[in-house]
Structure 1
Amino acid sequence: MRAILMYGAGDVRIENVPDSRIKNSTDALVRITASCICGSDLHPYHSMDPASGPARMGHEFIGIVEEVGADVVTVKKGDLVVSPFAVSDNTCAICEANLQTSCLHHEANFWDGIPDEGGQAEAVRVPLADGTLVKLPVAADSALIPSLLTLSDVLGTGYHAAIAGGVGAGTSVTVIGDGAVGLLGVLSAKRLGAEQIILMGRHQARTDLGREFGATDVVSTRGAEGIAKVRELTGGHGTHVVLEAVGYMSAYEQALGVVRRGGVISRVGVPQYEDAPIGMGSLFRHNIRLAGGPAPVRAYIDELMPDILDGKINPGRVFDATTDLDGVPTGYQEMDDRRSLKVLVTP
């Protein structure tokens, strides 16, 4: 079968690899019908050491179940399913606390830790299929597929940022980052009843979509000027919640500059810094709280899917380009160059 591998920074290839097969009684084999490139995939695209490659890529996908292990009971051959970006049994004590990204019963959890598997491929072996996969009540050619695919990561991640930050009716929110997660953080804040949603982003096509998703204001400047603008828009106070959807230190510092005293910074951007003195003296003085982390998107799929099926939300609008597997290497480059927001991959 064919799959996408990354060999090093900027080096993405499509190659023939051994077919994925059932290994354990709790596995399912899924033929992928829709996947995509994630903004987090650009981190290794920038910095991956060739000595650590090649690596299979992709952690967001929808597909049709082709085979199941003997102990799988919740899905069967022929079912159309969506997979979260983290594998979980969805029954352990940690999963029951809605932290499926920290499941006790799988050694890898994230797809990039599962050898020889990935979502940017023709097929994939899904461990712990009963806990991981969710059946979709539509056909594989449904017009809702792009929006349902966002349940695998970006919608659930934006929603987790808002939930972890305590967004609710009457709150004010700043969203840092106009990528897919940031934009769906805007949508999520709107869904949860936020009164004021300030989107900090510099790309007009993206911030225009952010306004359609619910942003009340857009701040296109960064640094001290951007912080001053947010403060101006909030009567000098800053916002109750800041959703940091980038992961760079500059974005965290921006968040610290715009959060209200007693507020919450909720981080879901994959951190690209190490050993930073975050959360000690910088937050203590004004009772600012730090929240967020890898989104347990499995916890939100059942809650968010009905809104997609009913047409109340259309998160699939973050996909602004579509390609097949052959076009994935170009898709990485286009996303890195900011010519595409998020690339949908279909057969």
Structure 2
Amino acid sequence: MLATILHKPGDISCEEVTDPKILQPTDAIIKLAASCICGSDLWPFRGLQPVDRPMHMGHEYCGVVVEVGGEVRTIRPGQFVVGSFCISDNTCPHCRFGFQSSCVQREFMTGAQAPYARVPLADGTLVATAEIPPADLVPDLLAASDVLGTGWYAADAAEVREGSTVVVVGDGAVGLMGVLAAREMGAERIIAMSRHESRQKLAREFGATDIVAERGDEGVARIKELTGGVGADSVLECVGTAGSFDQALACSRPGGTIGYVGVPHDVKFDGQQLFFGQKRMLGGPAPVRRFLPDLMDRVLTGRIKPGKVFDLQLPLAEVAEGYRAMDERRAIKVLLRV
């Protein structure tokens, strides 16, 4: 089959590889309904994460089960499933505590930018729908596998509550999903920090009440102006750079909470600033499996349409153009037809 391989920064292509096979009795093989490119895929593509050997790319997936290992009990061939980018058994103490992304058997999904994929720990990782969903819901269900679940975790970790004021730092796909999540959780005011017209428009559609284009001190001043000098109850950090973390900390009110889901790069904290600023922080890899049943239900009942975040669709063979489009910010998120 054809699959996406990153050889070195900037060098990515769709190549012939061996079809995935059952390696462990807890595995499943799925035929993907669609795949996509994640913002975190751009870190190695840009050379900001080491690439010491060819990497099989892709960790967002949904599709139909075609084969299962001998110890798989709850997932069967023919079911449509959505899985998390974090592989988990869903039974260990961390999983039962709601942090499947810290499962004692944790793996990170790879190789999903392809027609077929192997999913380890299928019983703990995959969630099946009652029936095969219509094709028009596939992008929405695919989003639940990572980008929606990650934006949802940012809002959950930031303790977004009914009537709260929320700032979302980052207007990529995760940030936009954070806006949607904050709306669903009942936030009264959602301020999206964005400088791009197309992303501002989608943020408004997902529930943003205000847009702030300024950055740095000017951005903080604008947030303080909008909140009467107080700052935000909840801040969603959805980028992972030193600048975005600084922005998040400065926009949060004393006693406020920051949910951070952007993978940190060159981020350092000032202990005095944290101590006297009295900021709560929770984040890390999103425990998407915790949220999947609820998010899938919201999609299947038509309550949310997260698939709108895919603003470019390409065949798998043109995956390199998809990476370039996202790297150059010509696309928010690319859906790959398999």
TM-score, normalized by length of structure 1?
Answer: 0.94
Partner of 1:119: helix, strand, or coil?
Answer: coil
The CA deviation at 1:160 is 0.5
Letter in 2 for 1:64: V
Letter in 1 for 2:225: E
- The question of whether the paired residues in 1 share the 8 Å contact of 2:33 and 2:138 is answered with no
Please name the residue that 1:42 is paired with: 42
Please name the residue that 2:254 is paired with: 261
Please name the residue that 2:139 is paired with: 146
Please name the residue that 1:281 is paired with: 272
Give the distance between the partners of 1:247 and 1:286, measured in 2 at CA: 20
The CA deviation at 1:140 is 6.0
Superposed CA offset, 1:162-215 (max 9, x none): 111110112111000111110010010011111111000111111111011111
Give the distance between the partners of 2:11 and 2:149, measured in 1 at CA: 29
Please name the residue that 1:84 is paired with: 84
The CA deviation at 1:137 is 3.5
Letter in 2 for 1:9: P
Please name the residue that 2:68 is paired with: 68
1:302 aligns to 2:300 (yes or no)? no
Please name the residue that 1:122 is paired with: 115
The CA deviation at 1:142 is 2.0
Superposed CA offset, 1:36-65 (max 9, x none): 000111111111678612100000011211
Superposed CA offset, 1:242-277 (max 9, x none): 100000000001111211111111110111125x23
Give the distance between the partners of 2:43 and 2:221, measured in 1 at CA: 29
Map of 1:1-347 to 2, 5 A cutoff?
Answer: 1-47=1-47, 52-106=52-106, 109-112=107-110, 118-139=111-132, 141-273=134-266, 276-278=268-270, 280-347=271-338
- The question of whether the paired residues in 2 share the 8 Å contact of 1:157 and 1:181 is answered with yes
Give the distance between the partners of 1:331 and 1:215, measured in 2 at CA: 27
Partner of 1:7: helix, strand, or coil?
Answer: strand
The CA deviation at 1:224 is 0.9
Letter in 1 for 2:25: S
Give the distance between the partners of 1:165 and 1:54, measured in 2 at CA: 36
Superposed CA offset, 1:304-340 (max 9, x none): 2221111111111000111111011100000111111
The CA deviation at 1:105 is 2.4
Partner of 1:47: helix, strand, or coil?
Answer: coil
Matched positions, count: 338
Give the distance between the partners of 1:50 and 1:169, measured in 2 at CA: 42
Partner of 1:52: helix, strand, or coil?
Answer: coil
Give the distance between the partners of 1:263 and 1:137, measured in 2 at CA: 40
**Counterparts in 2 of 1:320 and 1:138: CA distance versus 1, 3 Å:** farther
- The question of whether the paired residues in 1 share the 8 Å contact of 2:79 and 2:131 is answered with no
Letter in 2 for 1:6: L
Partner of 2:46: helix, strand, or coil?
Answer: helix
**Counterparts in 2 of 1:55 and 1:322: CA distance versus 1, 3 Å:** same
- The question of whether the paired residues in 2 share the 8 Å contact of 1:7 and 1:50 is answered with no
**Counterparts in 2 of 1:126 and 1:283: CA distance versus 1, 3 Å:** same
**Counterparts in 2 of 1:191 and 1:261: CA distance versus 1, 3 Å:** same
- The question of whether the paired residues in 2 share the 8 Å contact of 1:198 and 1:218 is answered with yes
Superposed CA offset, 1:14-51 (max 9, x none): 11112210011111111222110001111111116786
**Counterparts in 2 of 1:215 and 1:262: CA distance versus 1, 3 Å:** same
In structure 2, stretches of 5+ residues that fail to align are: none
Please name the residue that 1:115 is paired with: none
Letter in 2 for 1:305: M
Give the distance between the partners of 2:249 and 2:123, measured in 1 at CA: 40
Letter in 1 for 2:322: G
Deviates more, 1:43-52 or 1:281-290: 43-52
- The question of whether the paired residues in 2 share the 8 Å contact of 1:176 and 1:251 is answered with yes
The CA deviation at 1:239 is 0.4
The CA deviation at 1:286 is 2.6
- The question of whether the paired residues in 1 share the 8 Å contact of 2:165 and 2:232 is answered with yes
Give the distance between the partners of 2:49 and 2:83, measured in 1 at CA: 28
- The question of whether the paired residues in 2 share the 8 Å contact of 1:8 and 1:49 is answered with no
Partner of 2:87: helix, strand, or coil?
Answer: coil
Partner of 1:207: helix, strand, or coil?
Answer: helix
**Counterparts in 2 of 1:49 and 1:155: CA distance versus 1, 3 Å:** closer
